[in-house]
């Protein structure tokens, strides 16, 4: 029987979900790869996988899409690992690097700049090494594991999920399990059970996974900052976010020489 091809986000916040999959009967039925969020989106859009934990900003680009699971990568208020870092207050920034790892974070940043902070900095296309170029009035969006401990380097840190909650009074969904084709009902049921078991194993995972930073508590991150249940509030938030995305102007970031790898 052909294995179901899956791609999932490679960040720390996905580990409980991966643990559930790999310790379930589905482990032998799937072909699993780990990628940065933007690559998960590309693979799903181009039909290279059957199922992806993908940034939700790609959904309007898909002809047909299905939310396969009752679980996601979401947050209720602060998320901790999706932030704008700056040496100056948000109203004083003149340019902003947008993290190339995730379409959802780029789109969310643009929504918040327009409707929450109401500022219009120059938007710069980020390349590897761009974090070193965040200085003066040039700020940067950074997501995922690279944010851990980064708050010690910048006096101003703005959590994008918390800003979204301030704007909408809703949680946020960064990534969801999406397919562009019908999957067997038996698989979807087993998949949900595997993810549920992985989340239940978080107390065990904190003993198995090394902390990426001495000040970073894994269990607190998994249970207080990441919210895995794709409940009705998050589905409402996803619908609202996609409406915001549809109203955004076409995006053409400026290429800065300083965004080249260093």
231 compared with 248, residue with greater pLDDT: 231
- Average pLDDT over the chain reads 92
Query: Does residue 253 surpass a pLDDT of 90?
Result: no
pLDDT value, residue 254: 63
Same fold, 4-74+172-240 and 82-170+247-259: yes
pLDDT value, residue 252: 62
pLDDT tens-digit series, residues 50-86: 999 999 999 998 989 999 999 999 999 999 999 999 9
pLDDT tens-digit series, residues 135-189: 999 999 999 999 999 999 999 999 999 999 999 999 999 999 999 999 999 999 9
pLDDT, mean of residues 5-32: 95
Confidence of residue 128 (pLDDT cuts 50, 70, 90): confident
The answer to whether the Cα torsion of 41, 242, 105, 15 is positive or negative is negative
Q: Which CATH number fits domain 82-170+247-259: 3.40.190.10, 3.40.50.720, 3.30.360.10, 3.40.50.800?
A: 3.40.190.10
pLDDT tens-digit series, residues 185-222: 999 999 999 999 999 999 999 888 888 888 899 999 99
203-236 as b/e: b if 16+ CB within 10 A: eebbeebeeeeeeeebeebbbebbbbebeebbee
pTM of the model: 0.92
Q: Which CATH superfamily hosts domain 4-74+172-240?
A: Periplasmic binding protein-like II (3.40.190.10)
Q: Which sequence spans correspond to the domains of the chain?
A: 4-74+172-240, 82-170+247-259
Confidence of residue 251 (pLDDT cuts 50, 70, 90): low
């Amino acid at each position: 029987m052909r294995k179901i091809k899956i791609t999932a986000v490679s960040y720390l916040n996905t580990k409980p979900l991966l643990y559930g999959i790999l310790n379930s009967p589905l482990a032998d039925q799937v072909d699993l790869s780990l990628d940065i969020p933007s690559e998960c989106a590309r693979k799903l859009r181009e039909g290279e996988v059957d199922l992806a934990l993908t940034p939700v900003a790609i959904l309007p680009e898909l002809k047909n899409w299905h939310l396969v699971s009752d679980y996601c990568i979401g947050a209720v208020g602060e998320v901790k690992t999706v932030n704008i870092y700056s040496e100056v207050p948000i109203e004083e920034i003149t340019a902003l690097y947008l993290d190339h790892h995730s379409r959802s974070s780029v789109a969310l940043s643009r929504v918040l700049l327009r409707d929450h902070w109401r500022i219009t900095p120059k938007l710069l296309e980020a390349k590897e090494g761009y974090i070193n170029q965040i200085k003066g009035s040039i700020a940067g969006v950074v997501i995922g594991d690279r944010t851990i401990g980064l708050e010690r380097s910048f006096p101003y840190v703005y959590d994008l999920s918390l800003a979204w909650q301030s704007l909408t009074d809703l949680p946020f969904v960064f990534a969801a399990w999406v397919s562009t084709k019908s999957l067997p009902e038996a698989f979807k049921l087993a998949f949900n059970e595997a993810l549920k078991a992985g989340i239940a194993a978080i107390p065990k995972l904190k003993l198995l996974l090394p902390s990426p930073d001495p000040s970073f508590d894994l269990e607190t991150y998994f249970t207080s900052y990441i919210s895995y249940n794709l409940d009705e509030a998050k589905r409402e938030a996803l619908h609202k976010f996609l409406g915001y995305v549809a109203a955004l102007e076409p995006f053409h970031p400026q290429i800065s020489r300083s965004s080249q790898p260093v």
